[in-house]
Amino acid sequence: MAENRVTVEVEGRTLVIGNLDKRLYPDGTTKAEVIHYLTAVAPVLLPHLAGRAITMKRFPDGTQGGFFYEKRCPSHAPEWVRTVDQWVSHGAGRWGKEDRGPKTSEEVPFCVVESLPTLVWLGGMAALELHTPMAQAAGRWGAEVPTLVVLDLDPGAPANAVECAVVALRIRELLDTLGLRTVVKSSGNKGLQVYIPVNVPGTTHDGARGFAQAIALLLEKQDPQLVVSQQRKDLRPGKVLIDWLQNESFKTTVSVYSLRARERPTVSTPLAWDEVEALAQGGDPESIQMSPQQVLERVARHGDLFAEATTLEQPLPKL
């Protein structure tokens, strides 16, 4: 069956988009609705994507039809889509993972999303999830200087978002004593992610990873029944993993305001700390799994609750 294609103009750029009525989620959400969300959320989303080499998680046949990760910016990308070259390694495992053969590297052009036309183009390709590294390869300091440190909180059942909220508050309390402000968001799934904005030159991936590991180890020592710092699955049931390895230079986390590919569309949503406090006190763990419409309503009321991620400048202290 031939694709139904439409030609649209977005901020002076011409785009040809196929199958706008295709259902991308089991609840009936269509590609057109995905693009509508991306267009509406763009003013707060684009600052968080700026300069970052995007890894796309694409679902051409919808969330139930399989997916693939795409790092290399497609050769069919419009000529006005900005790219940045980064080295990508293949093969040998790291951090205790099984070696999968000889390690090789190649320089790959990644897409950089800094305009609404690029964002709409990604929606047209069913790139539902946008994953970003901690550094801005096309930013002021390049790929070797992370602007953020992330503490990714992943609950092991029967633990859920409530336990993640408890751990997030302990992280905030600890970092407060070090004079560091933090921002927090949902993963769009079951967990939370606490970020430390850095945004100063001189930060290194090794330093960011070591700082995050030290936080994870300290909280694990304080409460080993709740917190785990190792990836081992046998250690995780009923606990919250603080995944400090997400600060490796080659790692990415789902971007704030990105859609997630689930039974229904949810969004990685910025949270206020009082919302995290309410969750930790026995709130509904499902409450943080917000829909695109809920997120747009929150933005209209509160603006960008994650704005400090791009604006706050605070060097990491020596531990």
Task: Tell me the C-alpha distance between 25 and 3, whole Å.
Answer: 19
Read off the pLDDT of residues 225-240 as tens digits, 9 standing for 90 and up.
Answer: 999 999 999 999 999 9
pTM for the model = 0.94
CA angle at 106 for the pair 103 and 107, rounded to the nearest 5°: 150
**Region 52-60 average pLDDT:** 98
**pLDDT at residue 102 greater than cutoff 80:** no
If you average pLDDT over residues 156-161, what whole number do you get?
97
- Residues 167 and 261: their CA atoms lie apart, in Å, by 26
CA distance 38 to 258: 9
pLDDT band at 286 (very low <50, low <70, confident <90, very high): very high
Q: Alpha-carbon distance 52 to 112, whole Å?
A: 6
103-127 pLDDT tens trace: 677 899 999 999 999 999 999 999 9
> pLDDT grade, residue 99 (50/70/90)?
very low
Is 34 buried (19+), middle (13-18) or exposed (0-12) by CB count in 10 A? buried
Q: Which residues in 212-239 are b (16+ Cβ under 10 Å) and which e?
A: bbebbebbbeeeeebbbbbeeeeebeeb
Per-residue DSSP letter, 290? B
Read off the pLDDT band of 319 (50, 70, 90).
confident
Contacts by 59-68, CB closer than 8 A, 24 or more apart: 59/24, 59/126, 59/128, 59/261, 60/125, 60/126, 62/22, 62/23, 62/24, 62/25, 62/26, 62/126, 63/24, 63/25, 63/26, 63/128, 63/261, 63/262, 63/263, 64/26, 67/261
pLDDT digits (tens, 9 = 90+) for 193-210: 999 999 999 999 999 999
Structure tokens at 262: 């689930």
Q: How many CB atoms lie within 10 A of CB 60?
A: 14
CATH number of the domain at 5-311, out of 2.20.25.240, 3.10.20.30, 1.50.10.10, 3.90.920.10? 3.90.920.10
Cβ–Cβ < 8 Å for 91, 100: yes
Sign of CA dihedral 45, 48, 50, 55: negative
99/92 Cα distance (integer angstroms): 5
Confidence of residue 318 (pLDDT cuts 50, 70, 90): confident
